[in-house]
Structure 1
Amino acid sequence: MGEQVLPQNTAVRSPRTARTTVLTFASVLCGAALAFGTTLFVGNQVGETGAGMFFQIMAFFSIASVFVTFGADTGLVRTLAAQKALGAATQLKRTTAIAALPVLALACLTGAALWLSAEALETWSGLAGLSDVIRAISPLLVPAALMNLGFGAMRGMGQVAGFSAIQNVLLPSTRFAAVAAAIMLGGTLLQLAASWAWPVLLAAALAGGAAWLAIEKFNRSAPVRPVAEPSAPPASPAKQFWGFSSARGFSALVETLLEWIDVIAVGVFLGPAAAGIYGAVNRCVRLGLMLEHTARLVTGPMLSASLATGRQAQAKLLFSNTAKLLVFCAWPLYLTLAIFAEGVLSLFGAGFAQGAVPMAIISVVMMFAVSAGGVQSMLLMGGKSRWQLGNKLCALAVAVVFNLWLVPAWGLLGAVTAWSLAVLVDCGLATVQVARVMRFGAPVRELIPLAAISLLIFGGGGLLWRVFLEPSLLAAAVHLAVAVPIYVFACVRFSERLGLEALVRQAVQLLRKRQARAA
């Protein structure tokens, strides 16, 4: 399907789309700040040991939630966005049912299995009170699965701002409030776990309702299009959907294990206090990954629609712009975290500064990872979920081997080494596949000026402040107060040479095209 002529009302509607994108980005930043604030509050109130136990409960619930969803949320993003772009309104509810029924059944079975095995898990782990925690949160796997399905359907239907408001504002804010109340009431492990997990009930209700309303609205307003008779019997919709989503489900589970496996390994080998310190490092570094997450939210449905309708040039433009934006936004953050690691971690309490060297190492590694752009989103929206699964399995194998080998010998340094190697393996494989097979290469020449200006202002400037003021929290604050205005001025002044002016212009054009097709 070729490019379509834009309607005359495109210019009128595009500001609303631009506002949606801005609101989405703002809500993701808000969610990152709230999640970071929750971690910060827990660390200061219950110390390294309490924080370590809290992080391990977060890991348990996160892994279980991803397992029961089994990739159906991403399958809904890809399938509903493509069906909407092709005008297949009658298929939307059927696709949603194909996704929801197996997921909710699996969530019920998994929750019941965890409930029945709670005592055995407590005995195996040696953690007193774990059985009560498991019984408190295992029934929540069903609403957690419904929440994830609702999020996927909202994204696939183009309700990105609403999805982001629920996931990144409502859910983390209610969690923060609930965790704060739990700590005031005593801060036991059961209270912390329940307060962090139970807000998914509200999020599930809102996400499921919003997704259903979006599908109903599109069904009422979409024009009826004639459907040509297929030349060959089509594949089963369920087989098509789960052929993609099952691979994504394994991949997402592996991805979640990659996020938490080093924290778990540190807790097993070094104890909950070390897990608390390392968990704080993990949370700080993942602030930067929220930028990549934002890029996935905004560009994922557009990439799926572009690839489904054969608009390769638009897909390449989205991919290129994503790489530029990630370098532009993420490099300053990671440079600041690397240079002022001690000061940043001191926010959590005096004992957390022991994680400064690991945080500096992984921050530098993440700078290279984000430079690859949205390679993960390109694989997913291009239907290459099995490729991504293979990449994640390779990275998980690296993480498991090196965590088992290095954490007992090197402690936190061993954990961050394993994490760094896993990130490089995953990102490296995806980059090669997207560049050589899918023919979407990162704009290296255009990224060099953006990287250079970040290194000069945030890298060189940060090292100077570190020498004069030591790596304290005050030095980090002064550095940011000086560097951010200079960075913004330099980027505006040299926007044409840096490619930012063209990036903004092209982004506006894409938003106008997207809104025109939605109209």
Structure 2
Amino acid sequence: MGAHPLVVRVTPTGTRPGNGLRRVLRGGAVNMAGAVVSAALNLALIVAITRAFSQETAGLLFSATSVFLIMAAVANAGAPDGLVYFIARMRVFGRPEAVPVLLRLALGPAVLASCVVGAALVVFAGPLAEALGSEEATAYLWMLALFLPFAVLTDSALAATRAHHDMSATVLVDKVGRPLAQLGLVGMIALSGSAGLLALAWAGPYLPAAVLAWFWLGRIVRRAAPDELPSPEAQDRDGREARDERDDRTDRSERDERDERVTPAVFWAFALPRALGGVAQMGVQRGGVVMVALLNGLSGAAVFTAATRIMVVGQFGTQAVLNAAQPRFAELLASRDHNAVRALYQAGTAWLVCLNWPLYLSALVFAPEVMRLFGDEYAAGVVALVIVCAGQMTAQVLGMGDLVLTMTGRTGLNLLNNVMSLLANVAVCVLLVPAYGAAGAAVALVASAMVRKLLPLWQLRSLVVLHPFSRPVAAATCSALVWFGALPMTMDALTGGGVPVLVAALLVGAIGHLGTIWWLRESLEPRR
């Protein structure tokens, strides 16, 4: 299942471990700046919806948009991951002139698939609305289906820009521009009182985002191709080396692999299993909302969505690190530098803990205050919020083994892992959601996360042994526990809690955490 990795011996210039790590950290810093803004905008969007509209209306929108995002994962056919993987390899092997051909190979079928899936969503909107118990759901799903191709084009084009180590397009277009437009449009709808247009306000910004992403990608490709072509001297040198080694069977096999073009069969053999894995992963992330709506009603879906917003905010920080590390992992694995892979994995895990543990620890300690942000009727989500935060903290410590597994080309295993994760989520939801509502869905979410995080570490053991037990991760964990665990709990016990205490604890903790990370910066450096 999936494509076998094309592993060759290369010696790319400027790819020393230190340089590569600095490049990833620069990209991660750009992504993180956007992630902070995007997290705030998305949280503000959910708060605006829950406070301006009833629980039933909010639950309907959350359920409909969850269906939209799952369908978008189906329609993109794995094109974003395939573009990152193969463009990164083309850059390593000095073949940027092949990128435009690859883009046409990937984007055409993905956009066509999105049109087909959008049409299917229109056809089945009625039965799905009936299952959700709301006639309005039909109109919501119809409006969302119109924008499905634009969502797929946006995701694929931005993935290709990240493969060129340009993170600014993703930040400006997807992390800042689109959610800002959504917030503004939802605010206008709230003032007008026309809840029927909520789906249009949420999905409409995908159209300008797709246009901007496409033009941004075109500019990068035109600029990169002539600059990255090998010089005539380099071509002559490579030719002499090839002639000198022609009689060596192993080297000849490696050169054949290096010269192999990315055919449609090769590309989609990699991308399609990853697409199915992405659908399963999105099913875990968003399927819980739909499951709660089906098994516990739209009000329960609204509560579960609000309770898991902290997890979604944390995912912006996670995605910022993953977006920066993904092409670098592909390059290191292509050159078989497994020590650098291990060092980057541990450094990345430390940064995941640095960025996300403060958020989850604070939400866990002040769970009642956090849920009151969405309105008094959302207090029932406190238990679900605590469960989600504890599970996500554990998941962050386990690192990004699933990303490393994908970048080895083992998309079949990645698919298996995500399917097993989805099955675990559905099974626990069926068992617990009817009786426990949002809390039962939170347990299902944690169970699926553990399956998806632990399996890749075991499956990669024969290639590169990855584990998060390292000085960088230990330093990040200790800092977060002190400043966002012990300090807030002490302040809460002494003062009785409340929003002012929460704000003060966050400010003091942020200053202390940043200072500690700076003081321990040498401990956070990876050890090869």
* Structures share fold, TM-score greater than 0.5: yes
Question: Equivalent residue for 1:173?
Answer: 180
Match of 2:385 among 356, 359, 362: 359
Structure 2 counterparts to residues 85-484 of structure 1, below 5 A: 85-188=92-195, 190-224=196-230, 225=235, 234=260, 237-435=263-461, 437-484=463-510
Segment drifting more, 354-363 vs 477-486: 477-486
- Structure 2, unmatched stretches of 5+, are 1-8, 243-251
Maintained 8 Å contact 2:292/2:441 = yes
In the TM superposition, 1:481-496 aligns within 5 A as 481-496=507-522
Q: Which whole-Å deviations, capped at 9, do the CAs of 1:313-355 have from their partners, x for residues lacking one?
A: 3322221210111122222221111111110111111111211
Cα deviation 1:261-293 (Å, max 9, x = unaligned): 222122122221221111011112221222211
Q: Taking structure 1 as reference, are residues 88 and 175 closer, same or farther at Cα in structure 2, changes over 3 Å only? A: same
Determine the C-alpha separation between the residues in 1 that align with 2:228 and 2:35. 30
Deviation at 1:296, TM superposition (A): 0.8
Question: For the Cα contact (< 8 Å) 1:140–1:200, is it kept in 2?
Answer: yes
Equivalent-residue separation in structure 1 for 2:386 and 2:113 (angstroms): 40
Inter-partner Cα distance in structure 2 for 1:5 and 1:214: 21
- Deviation of 1:117 after TM superposition, in Å, equals 3.6
CA drift at 1:129? 2.2
Match of 2:44 in 1: 37
How many angstroms does 1:425 deviate by? 1.4
- 1:19 to partner: Cα distance: 5.9
Q: How far has the Cα of 1:6 moved from its partner?
A: 4.7
**Displacement after TM superposition at 1:21 (Å):** 4.6
Offset of 1:124 from its aligned partner?
Answer: 4.4
Deviation, 1:50, is: 2.4
- Per the TM alignment, residue 114 of structure 1 is displaced from its structure 2 partner at its CA by 2.5
Contact 1:292 1:326 in 2 (8 A): yes
* Pick aligned residue for 1:72 from 65, 70, 79: 79
Rate the CA distance shift 1:125–1:487 in 2: closer, same or farther, 3 A. Answer: closer
Gaps of 5+ in 1: 507-519
Report how far residue 411 of structure 1 moved.
Answer: 2.3
Q: 2:401 touches 2:456 (CA, 8 Å); kept in 1?
A: yes
- TM-score, normalisation: structure 1: 0.89
Letter in 2 for 1:312: H
What is the alpha-carbon distance in structure 1 between the residues aligned to residue 401 and residue 22 of structure 2? 28
Mapped contact 1:76–1:96 kept (Cα < 8 A): yes
The letter for the 2-side match of 1:469 is: T
- How many residue pairs match? The answer is 498
In percent, how many aligned pairs have the same letter? 22
Q: Is the 8 A contact 1:292 1:374 kept in 2?
A: no
Question: Once the 2 structures are TM-superposed, how far is the Cα of residue 15 of structure 1 from its aligned partner?
Answer: 9.7
Q: Cα 1:195–1:231, aligned 2, differ >3 Å: closer, same or farther? A: closer
1:446/1:109 Cα in 2 relative to 1: closer, same or farther (>3 Å)?
closer
Equivalent residue number for residue 509 of structure 1: none
**What residue number does 1:512 align with?**
none
Q: In the TM superposition, what is the alpha-carbon distance from 1:144 to its structure 2 partner?
A: 1.6
- Structure 2 counterpart SS, 1:70: coil
Asked if the contact 1:52/1:267 (under 8 Å) is kept, the reply is yes
| Structural RMSD (CA) | 2.7
Find the aligned partners of 1:453 and 1:33 in 2 and give their Cα distance.
23
Report the CA distance between 1:495 and its aligned residue.
4.0
